[in-house]
Amino acid sequence: MRRAGLALVTLVVVVALGAPWLAPNPPDRSFAQSLYAPPTIVHVFDGGPRAPFIYQQRLVSRLERRFEADVSRPVALRWFTGGRLVSVADDEGPLLLLGADALGRDIFARLLYGARASLTLAVVATFAAIAIGALIGGIAGYAGGLIDETLSRLTEFVLVLPTMYVALALRAALPLVLPPGTVFVMLAAIFALLGWPIVARGVRAIVASERERDYVAAGHALGAGPWRMLVRHLLPSTIGYVAVQATLLLPAFILAEATLSYVGLGFPDTVPTWGTMLQDAANVSLIGNAPWMLAPAAAIFIVVLGVNLAVQGRGRAPVQLEL
Amino acid sequence: MLRLWPAEAPTSPPVRRGGQIVASIRAEPRSFNRFVSRDQSTELLTMLTQGRLVRINRATFELEPWLAESWESSADGRTHTLHLRPGVTWSDGAPFTSADVLFSLQAVFDPKTQSVVADTLRIGGQPITAKAPDAQTVVLTYAVPSGPGVRLLDNLPILPKHKLEGALAAGAFASAWNNTTPPSEIVGTGPFVLREYQAGQRVVLDRNPRYWRRAPDGGVLPYLDRIVLAIVPEQNAELLRLQAGELDLTSSELRPEDYVPVRDAEEQGRLRMIELGVGTDADAFWFCLKPEAKARDPRFAFVQRPEFRQAISHAIDREAFVNTAYLGAAVPVWGPVTPGNVQWFWSDVPRYLHDDTKARAMLYDIGLEDRNQNGILDNPSLVEARFTVLTQRGISWYERGTAVLREELAKIGIAVDIVPLEFGALIQRLLACDYDAMYYRPVVTDLDPAGNLDFWLSSGSAHFWNIGQRTPATDWERRIDTLMLEMAASLDPERRRQQFNLVQQIFAENLPVLYFAAPRLYYAHSTRLRGVVPSVQRPPVLWNADSLSVTN
Amino acid sequence: MTAYFARRLLFALVLVLVVSSAALLLTRLAPGDVTAQLGPFAAPEEVASARARLDLDRSPLAQWVLWLARAGRFDFGDSFLYNRPVRELVARAAGNTAILAVVALAAATALGIPLGIVSGSRSGPAASLIRAASLVCVSMPPLLTSLLFVFVAATTRWLPAGGMTSVEALDGRWSTWLADVALHLPLPALALALPIAATFERLQAQSIAEALQQPFVTAAAARGVPPREIVVRHAWSVSLGPICGVYGIAIGTLLSGSFVVEFVAAWPGLGRLTYEALRARDIYLVAGCAATGGLMLAVGMMIGDLLLAAADPRVRERPAG
């Protein structure tokens, strides 16, 4: 189970890293003749088995979204050409493995590039949340007294807030249209701001109990300063706990991005992320004719499932309630 | 298959009376008082519950007698004597008289009302004055002659004096008939009366048993017993409910991408799709041309040259535009008046054929060439022809339209960055002239150009490339001002047409705003609906609510 | 005990106050305001009078103080977007969200707890199947489940694909209305409930497995008490503690999840209203929604605390915190 989970997660990471090589088309290139085109079917059988090939799709009616395969001329796929794993020549394509969206962009390519954006954001936000959480939890647990009381109350307060609403309110308060880089930093900051209390609570408990142990007293006796004690000795003892928390935060952040972008408060539509791609799925009657537009939902499922499987292998079912 | 109106057999079976239909509206009505609120839901409700003196038929654009049965106009076009239809009563039984007309005019021009319809009724900047020699006659006097004449009165719903006179006297007319007023207070002369309003859910209208209009067979109208307006804030949900049979009518036309699912539903016999025709509004692309705001912008020196904008017009392949932005469901246009506006469209308006070489040559002539070989044109002091184009976000054809714009302009060396904005932010930037260029579809409120003086006149509030000028910034704007004022005051239809064609010519030569395509509009309704007379103006079907009926 | 709940109550009050004030100030300080809804060519006087009506012409601090003073008298201002009192709008939306949340929680409990007892106390194909299903569900957050369900409903037409009531139920008695709502409920409620049910199943399974290891259970088994009775009578009651504890946390999850579900399935609840208010910067509506959300959260947490106290006597003696 655990191995399967790790394999899934690794697969997604590899796909994200290899996106420029794996995607047959650039993610932002729009094929004007292929708006809403269905997936290009790769054939391997033509009277007898042969190397994979496609038929070029000719546009018949844009409004009716009708395309006709040009069966007179099979187009062989090119492998390892032009820095891409698989592609077709410009005048013979396009090769759209998961069809095209409203602007004629390759959904498959966007899915791969989307993995980069969505995963990077989630990883950055997770690290930020852990850093803040460990620091606040560590200080609270180590200092005790009034500091502990104040920080614990704060942690508790942020913890009970429904994350989605707070993220929504914070995002909506900022200018709605911003450059993608700014959006990235901003979303990571918002997520970290919401994710840290979960980490802080556990870290505080561990640090508070570790503090009572002999080696801490010994360290003090040897003249180690409080910061040094905290950072060098106490926080490292929480690594196991923090690692588990990270695996819970990561899928939650992937989802938060997807939700915010889905409702139009995340990345601008020009940036391929799983959330911005899901916006197309909002038009449900369209999806009936084009179920492949749900591909980003499947991608999210795979990542979350992978993480859950990987964590389950540790013998404890994670309790994942936030988001 | 697509059925074009008229599809029904000429000898239609007897119309069934009774039954209800469910239509959707996108938003809550902000008020039940059309004088103070211009939102679409208020307008629709007013259309259903109130009458006006004359009606413009939304399908033929002909003027029809309505609460006024007939009228005479004086030779100078300033005085109109209207004879009110006898026997009309308000939905509460009170008689409808000339006093109600006088009251409505008084209310609409009362400064405390701050009426949103007053401007459309001011002629030469002056209110209409009215006298009532008797209970059935109204004499209206315009300050100056008016070309549209009596047609203007289509903008004025006649409100009941006996219900609202107190509010007007107390200076509270603006807040009277707001959406917390009990429905029974809201009386009208329209085919339906308000029965119930549930905030966030629906507005229910029952047939007005005292409605004055009769069917061709002499029977009473309306045919329907009830219209329910369900509030569905979002177009995807609206379409889904239409397909599920929960709605008979939606508030808006189909988007190009909805064509396929609706056609499928039609083939299964669940919906009927109709083509409304070419829309009266076209997508507009314009640069901010306000010299005060742009004086320090080095690009303004070439942006303000008509040749620059003419070159852009040459550079846009309108066919590609139609195909990509609208999936082919549009027609190319070269001016603000589209073929959908049959009365005022001028087919000889100057056109700019797609020709990149010519476009480049024209830009070269005004000193723009790619001096530093980076693919973008520069002026002699190396200022790049690069612009930010603002548009409204979340609308698929704007997205596709701006994408085409960017591609086509890149071919002649003009770089464009697209920034989709939230509606509110877009408007703020528009009013402050805080933008390079904009791509948006402004809605034409009146098909008669004399009703859109706010767009045509340089002092107008909807003259959006340079709003509210004290004196015309350019010579051609001054000429358009003169022509439009003459045209608005002119009584001879042929002369008005010539004057307006000249305005269109001047406009197309100077291109303050570029137009590329006007959509062909499709609409879908349930198969049980009868008596549909589609209009390219909103509401596409409900304008004719008194003659709609349903099969079982 | 009393002191504990007094502190909880104070916490709730602070929560509502802080959350709604923060929402108000955040909306006020954000660029742009709600008067943009008047359209592109609204007259400046119209915009100015609208701004004055909403106190947008005062300083943010003054506006906050005025709002707070009115809120103390239960007057939460008017929504500009809907042109009616915030209180009315929010009460209706919160009611709809509560219906959805309560039904979803009940469904999650009804699904998760029994299945958890089975999968935690047994091994074999049934338990493996439950574990697998629960794994899938826990990996399908409400965003995905609701999209999937709406898609299925729209293509199969088994259930209404969105909304809360259909128009036909308008004139009927309240029983017709109830039946109509009941028809619209399964889709969003299930979309919201499934991931929570899966979490409940996992917790219950884990906790019952632990309880079965307890000495008194082993002793009962040695006395010859049948296994089914051991699980139901002895182990389950011990395993209840952790489950009750999670209800308090589940409220936050429900609220967050219901936002997405309401959005996708067009349920006219607090989530949708909040979203629209935020988008349009309808300041008093934003504040009202935030206050209501905070209140629902606080109430939910207190119910969770009560449950916990009922199940676990130790909590009652524990000092607050």
ipTM: 0.83
Q: How far is C62 from chain B (nearest CA, A)?
A: 25
H helix intervals, C157-213: 174-184, 186-212
Contact across the interface for A61 and B328, Cβ inside 8 Å? yes
Contact across the interface for A32 and B323, Cβ inside 8 Å? yes
Q: What was the pLDDT predicted at C39?
A: 67
Phi first, then psi: give them for residue C68, nearest 5 degrees.
Answer: -65, -40
Determine how β-strand B549-550 pairs with β-strand C78-79.
Answer: unpaired
Among chain A residues, CA nearest to B401: A103
Q: Is A297 exposed, middle or buried (0-12, 13-18, 19+ CB in 10 A)?
A: buried
Diameter of chain A measured on Cα atoms: 86
Positive or negative, the Cα torsion across A85, A91, A92, A98? Answer: positive
Choice among A64-68, B9-13, B275-279, B530-534 with the minimum mean pLDDT: B9-13
Residues 88-107 of C with CB under 8 A from A: none
Which CATH superfamily is B50-175 part of? Answer: Dipeptide-binding Protein; Domain 1 (3.90.76.10)
Positive or negative, the Cα torsion across A18, A20, A25, A29? Answer: positive
Is C247 within the bounds of a domain?
A: yes
- Please answer whether residues B22 and B241 qualify as being in contact, where contact means their C-beta atoms are separated by less than 8 angstroms: no
- Please answer whether residues B294 and B302 qualify as being in contact, where contact means their C-beta atoms are separated by less than 8 angstroms: no
Q: Which residues of A touch B429 (CB under 8 A)?
A: none
- pLDDT tens per residue across span B184-227: 999 999 999 999 888 777 899 999 999 999 998 888 999 999 99
- Please answer whether residues B224 and B545 qualify as being in contact, where contact means their C-beta atoms are separated by less than 8 angstroms: yes
Q: How confident is the model at residue B547 (pLDDT cuts 50, 70, 90)?
A: very high
Q: How far is A228 from chain B (nearest CA, A)?
A: 49
Contact across the interface for C266 and B234, Cβ inside 8 Å? yes
DSSP B444: P
Determine how β-strand B517-526 pairs with β-strand B330-332.
Answer: antiparallel
Residues 6+ apart with CB under 8 A from B540: B253, B276, B521, B523, B534
Neighboring chains of B (3 or more beta-carbon pairs < 8 A) = A, C
Contact across the interface for B422 and C32, Cβ inside 8 Å? yes
- Please answer whether residues B376 and B386 qualify as being in contact, where contact means their C-beta atoms are separated by less than 8 angstroms: yes
Higher pLDDT among residues B124 and C318, named by residue: B124
Q: What was the pLDDT predicted at C319?
A: 45
In terms of average pLDDT, the best of A95-104, B512-521, C208-217 is B512-521
Choice among A70-74, B46-50, C97-101, C112-116 with the minimum mean pLDDT: A70-74
**Interface test with chain C among B202, B241, B250, by most C beta carbons within 10 Å:** B241
Q: What is the CATH number of domain B284-519?
A: 3.10.105.10
Cβ atoms within 10 A of the Cβ of B551, count? 12
Collect all residues from B whose CB is shorter than 8 A from any CB in C. Answer: 22, 28, 30-31, 38, 114, 116, 178-180, 199-202, 204, 228, 230, 232-234, 237, 240-241, 243-244, 246, 422-425, 427-428, 430-431, 442, 454, 461-462, 464
C-alpha distances (whole Å) from C11 to each of C2, C7, C23, C256 are 14, 6, 18, 20
Q: What was the pLDDT predicted at C313?
A: 56
- Please answer whether residues B244 and B229 qualify as being in contact, where contact means their C-beta atoms are separated by less than 8 angstroms: no
Q: What was the pLDDT predicted at C171?
A: 61
Q: What was the pLDDT predicted at C168?
A: 64
Residues 18-77 of C with CB under 8 A from A: 18-19, 23, 26-27, 29-31
Determine how β-strand B386-392 pairs with β-strand B437-440.
Answer: parallel
- pLDDT tens per residue across span B389-403: 999 877 888 888 998
Half-sphere exposure of B381 (CA within 13 A, CB side): 5
Determine how β-strand B437-440 pairs with β-strand B284-287.
Answer: antiparallel
Q: What was the pLDDT predicted at C209?
A: 81
Q: Can you read off the two tokens belonging to residue B211?
A: 């409605």
Contact across the interface for C43 and B114, Cβ inside 8 Å? yes
Place of tokens 């690009």: B299
- Please answer whether residues A38 and A69 qualify as being in contact, where contact means their C-beta atoms are separated by less than 8 angstroms: no
Q: How far is B22 from chain C (nearest CA, A)?
A: 7
Contact across the interface for C268 and B241, Cβ inside 8 Å? no
Cis amide prior to B332 (ω within 30 degrees): no
Q: What was the pLDDT predicted at B447?
A: 86
Which of C49, C170, C266 lies closest to B237 in CB terms?
A: C266
Cβ atoms within 10 A of the Cβ of B212, count? 19
Mean pLDDT of B128-133: 94
Q: What was the pLDDT predicted at C170?
A: 60
Q: Which residues of B touch C32 (CB under 8 A)?
A: 422, 424-425, 428
Range of the domain at C228: 86-316
**B394 at interface of A, judged by CB pairs closer than 8 A:** yes
Q: How many domains does chain C have?
A: 1
Positive or negative, the Cα torsion across B186, B190, B196, B200? Answer: negative
Neighboring chains of C (3 or more beta-carbon pairs < 8 A) = A, B
Return d(Cα C271, Cα C290) in angstroms, integer. 10
Structural domain spans, chain B: 50-175, 284-519
Q: What was the pLDDT predicted at A216?
A: 72
Among chain B residues, CA nearest to A102: B396
Q: Which residues of C touch A294 (CB under 8 A)?
A: 147-148, 151
Is C11 within the bounds of a domain?
A: no
- pLDDT tens per residue across span A172-226: 777 766 778 888 998 999 999 888 988 888 888 888 888 777 777 777 777 777 7
Q: pTM of the entire structure?
A: 0.83
Q: Is the pLDDT of residue B333 over 90?
A: yes
Mean pLDDT of A95-122: 90
- Please answer whether residues C138 and C287 qualify as being in contact, where contact means their C-beta atoms are separated by less than 8 angstroms: no
Among chain C residues, CA nearest to B425: C32
Identify the CA nearest to C100 among candidates C146, C168, C49, C47.
C146
Choice among A311-315, B238-242, B356-360, C286-290 with the minimum mean pLDDT: A311-315
Q: Is the pLDDT of residue B8 over 50?
A: no
Return d(Cα C45, Cα B111) in angstroms, integer. 11
Q: Is the pLDDT of residue B283 over 70?
A: yes
Among chain B residues, CA nearest to A65: B260
Q: Is the pLDDT of residue B277 over 50?
A: yes
- Please answer whether residues C315 and C116 qualify as being in contact, where contact means their C-beta atoms are separated by less than 8 angstroms: no
SS3 A223: coil
Q: Is the pLDDT of residue A144 over 70?
A: yes
Phi first, then psi: give them for residue B59, nearest 5 degrees.
Answer: -95, -40
Determine how β-strand C78-79 pairs with β-strand B137-141.
Answer: unpaired
Is C81 within the bounds of a domain?
A: no
Q: What was the pLDDT predicted at B346?
A: 93
**CATH code for the domain of C146:** 1.10.3720.10
**A260 at interface of C, judged by CB pairs closer than 8 A:** no
Q: How confident is the model at residue B405 (pLDDT cuts 50, 70, 90)?
A: very high
**C286 at interface of A, judged by CB pairs closer than 8 A:** yes
Is C132 within the bounds of a domain?
A: yes
Identify the CA nearest to A25 among candidates A96, A103, A114.
A96
Return d(Cα C8, Cα C6) in angstroms, integer. 5
Q: What was the pLDDT predicted at C311?
A: 67
Q: What was the pLDDT predicted at C167?
A: 63
The rounded average pLDDT for each run of 10 residues, N- to C-terminus, in chain C (321 residues) is 79 87 86 73 74 85 90 86 85 91 92 87 84 86 87 79 69 75 87 89 83 78 78 73 73 82 86 86 90 86 76 52 36
- Please answer whether residues C239 and C200 qualify as being in contact, where contact means their C-beta atoms are separated by less than 8 angstroms: no
- pLDDT tens per residue across span B254-264: 988 888 889 98
**E runs forming strands in A82-161:** 84-87
Contact across the interface for C278 and A172, Cβ inside 8 Å? yes
Mean pLDDT of B468-486: 93
Q: What was the pLDDT predicted at A314?
A: 46
Q: Is A90 exposed, middle or buried (0-12, 13-18, 19+ CB in 10 A)?
A: exposed
- Please answer whether residues A301 and A307 qualify as being in contact, where contact means their C-beta atoms are separated by less than 8 angstroms: no
> In the 3-class helix/strand/coil scheme, how is B197-234 assigned residue by residue?
EECCCEEEEEECCCCCCECCCCCECCCCCEEEEEECCC
Return d(Cα A283, Cα C225) in angstroms, integer. 58
Cis amide prior to B10 (ω within 30 degrees): no
Return d(Cα A128, Cα A126) in angstroms, integer. 5
Which percentage of chain B shows pLDDT scores above 70?
Answer: 98
SS3 C265: helix
Mean pLDDT estimate for chain B: 89
Task: In chain A, count H helices and then E strands.
Answer: 12, 5
C-alpha distances (whole Å) from C314 to each of B443, C284, C319, C320 are 68, 43, 10, 12
**Interface test with chain B among A66, A263, A285, by most B beta carbons within 10 Å:** A285
Q: Is the pLDDT of residue B4 over 50?
A: no
- pLDDT tens per residue across span B153-187: 999 999 999 999 999 999 888 888 987 889 999 99
Identify the CA nearest to B69 among candidates B268, B212, B166.
B212
Return d(Cα B64, Cα B427) in angstroms, integer. 36
Contact across the interface for C151 and A316, Cβ inside 8 Å? no
Return d(Cα A142, Cα A148) in angstroms, integer. 8
Identify the CA nearest to A170 among candidates C282, C22, C18.
C22
Q: What was the pLDDT predicted at C41?
A: 63
Q: What was the pLDDT predicted at C120?
A: 81
Phi first, then psi: give them for residue B415, nearest 5 degrees.
Answer: -95, 135
Return d(Cα B115, Cα B111) in angstroms, integer. 8
Q: What was the pLDDT predicted at C202?
A: 84
Return d(Cα B541, Cα B58) in angstroms, integer. 9
Please name each of the domains of chain A with its CATH number.
Answer: 107-313 (1.10.3720.10)
- Please answer whether residues B92 and B85 qualify as being in contact, where contact means their C-beta atoms are separated by less than 8 angstroms: no
Q: Is the pLDDT of residue A320 over 90?
A: no
